[in-house]
Chain A
């Protein structure tokens, strides 16, 4: 019998007295795809960080290909043949794609220590081809879209002949095309004898791709077995400890005729063109489109983060012209941004600080208040955190950086809920979030809508939009190309609209 690719023996880890992992004993057979699932904060990333030498375990040991594996740092893990695709992308925005791909080891270095640029460019080009990214290799990474950055991160890991590749939520910002390509790449690698660890909150995906499944809950191993033993329902039961019948809560809100947000003819040259729509009281309006179709840009303009050259925005009968975010917030808008690390949170600040940031004045009772009401903030932040089931050890001292990905997302939403928004713009609100939490976020949306708020929800998951929205707008190439009422929801037509106006269909990552 060949020795297992990886074995964990009683691995535990504690952060500030909080158990992240307790006594994990687990073996991963070689040449298989191992799917790991678990709620946000279950310890998936922590387990992988231990394997990748980024975190040292408190107790326990590991073996890799039969050899003891005790990495002192990421470089050791790389030497042991482990490649890591990080959940929070680990790229250098100031460097080109080539530099990012080879930053810890360029393909050819001559005796003087000089790099062979030609060779590096060639290898980089090849690596990009395999993941289907068609960009010049010297493009700066900060100029890429999140989707393209994700592909660079993947290319970096698969390009180095690793025996074990860890993919920590690699698909969360990919569109369907790229996902499919990644999956076939994963199959190829597995067939070539590589072991892959695949972490995702899309349980269908995990079930489809994996040979074995591992389920974690609260830092403990709940179950593991071959994929034939699992269904999505069983995974959910193991993950959350109870049954969840529906993935989507029943709709409770009914849109009224009152218009909350009216947008007419909003244009920003080269970005968006003549956008007009209305958001009604109690309505959940979906905005579907491929990545790079101008959805996020539209949201930023509505919220006053970017200027527009023409058009009108009226929020609750107040025209917003050349407005700043502060005015938007005052008019009842809230904006859950897509990128939580760079725009959503202050990573170094405490949970309480983050939650209160947008609503400092509301919590103090008046818009012109200059004082911070510490007690009100503490009470409200605890309450919102409880409503959202945000898992955190200590609101005053734990920093946002130390939350799991899903809990960070809940934190961003919590921050905006504190402002009592009437018009809530959500940009990819469920990215990287577990099924239970997704359900909770949909419920929050429902409740807000039932309470008379209007919600604009941007997403690239058509299924989620059709399940939750009253109406869906489809955007493509900076224009709105379709407006579907709930009765007209039709996947094919919507997808068709999403590709309209693109000269070459498919390949949205390619520009």
Chain B
């Protein structure tokens, strides 16, 4: 009897020590579920999952950049620009009334759609191009920070405003509709019970996990973020590692853009505009340091779950528009405070840490 008890305590201590934000989210979800039973309804769960996977991909990318002591503010504009470019290639019809004044009208756009409209390879080509553009923008960010030694915040702020401006310029503020069905299926379809979005997110997470925990590159990422000088003396190719982090972040942003655009069935020049703080907030509340060198993929995941569940619960509650904000702020704060308390208890050894 008492054996079971101690085992339960150990389990609890372990959960609280290492998976705190997840536990907190679960408790929150359960409480909400009791009050609003439709939280756990099928529709809402599907909704939750469709919000969670793309964000997970974005945060994974962001995490790599945070690990090397940088920050990537340009992820949202990478989403916008790739969404627009991809759509311009594969859309099957464009409304002349809206696009006649477009600088690309008659070049690659016409009434019959984009460059490869109707072509069998349209969707794969668009997807590859989107990913390439995302990685390319990441490359610009990476080279500017690593080679030109510009502060990452400024570099990515500038690329953010440049490329979101570029996305708007390309479309002249119009959404691009009529995307091929096979593309839309990426965002809405599923492999049996498992949505494609989830498959993609898990694949990217797996890749990230392997990089961080099994590859030499992963050790380098942490080392560069903890102390650049030590890393350099130890033979770490610092510039390359930093560039890689940004390229990966851009790549992830593009992958996120594919999911979002497919779900919205449109290429949007304003895609992701309000996501930035959610992305970085998820990473940080999960425990990833903004100063570099500290963070685990698991933490990023917990942060994402927390943010998505929180947003979702606030939307299902019959609340005033302003109360949503107030409660959201309060809950973020409470989670953070509990996390701090937990850390302090851990340090003073009142909760034994199990491994």
Contacts and interface: CB of A to CB of B under 8 A. Distances in A.
A255 B52 CA distance: 65
B333 interface: no
Given A369-B216, A371-B216, A325 B234 contact: yes
A25 B272 CA distance: 64
Contacts of B231: 346, 357
Nearest to B220: A360
B237 A360 contact: no
B222 interface: yes
Task: Please indicate which of the listed interface residues A342, A357, A358, A361 has the most CB atoms of chain B within 10 Å of its own CB.
Answer: A357
A343 B231 CA distance: 8
B115 interface: no
Given A346-B293, A348-B294, A370-B216, A325 B226 contact: no
Interface in B291-343: 293-294
A26 interface: no
B216 A357 contact: no
Given A360-B216, A370-B215, A372-B215, A328 B235 contact: yes
A345 B214 CA distance: 22
The number of chain B residues touching the other chain, given as a range, is 20 to 34
A195 interface: no
* Interface residues of chain B: helix, strand, loop or mixed (majority): helix
A388 interface: no
B140 to A, nearest CB: 23
B215 A371 contact: yes
B262 interface: no
B189 interface: no
A351 to B, nearest CB: 14
Interface string A341-357: 01111111100010011
The number of chain A residues touching the other chain, given as a range, is 20 to 34
Contacts of A371: 214-216
Contacts of B235: 324-326, 328-329, 358
Interface in A65-93: none
Contacts of A372: 213-216, 218-219
A358 B218 CA distance: 14
B222 to A, nearest CB: 7
Contacts of A353: 219, 222-223
A17 B216 CA distance: 32
B293 A358 contact: no
Given A325-B235, A353-B222, A372-B218, 20 more contacts: A303-B233, A324-B235, A325-B232, A325-B234, A326-B235, A326-B236, A326-B237, A342-B227, A344-B230, A346-B222, A346-B223, A347-B226, A357-B219, A357-B223, A370-B215, A371-B215, A372-B213, A372-B216, A397-B355, A415-B234
26 contacts: A303-B233, A305-B232, A325-B235, A326-B235, A335-B233, A337-B233, A342-B229, A342-B230, A343-B233, A344-B230, A345-B227, A345-B230, A346-B223, A346-B226, A346-B231, A348-B226, A349-B222, A353-B219, A360-B216, A360-B219, A360-B220, A369-B216, A371-B214, A371-B216, A372-B218, A415-B234
Interface of A: 16-17, 303, 305, 324-326, 328-329, 335, 337, 342-349, 353, 356-358, 360-361, 364, 369-372, 397, 415
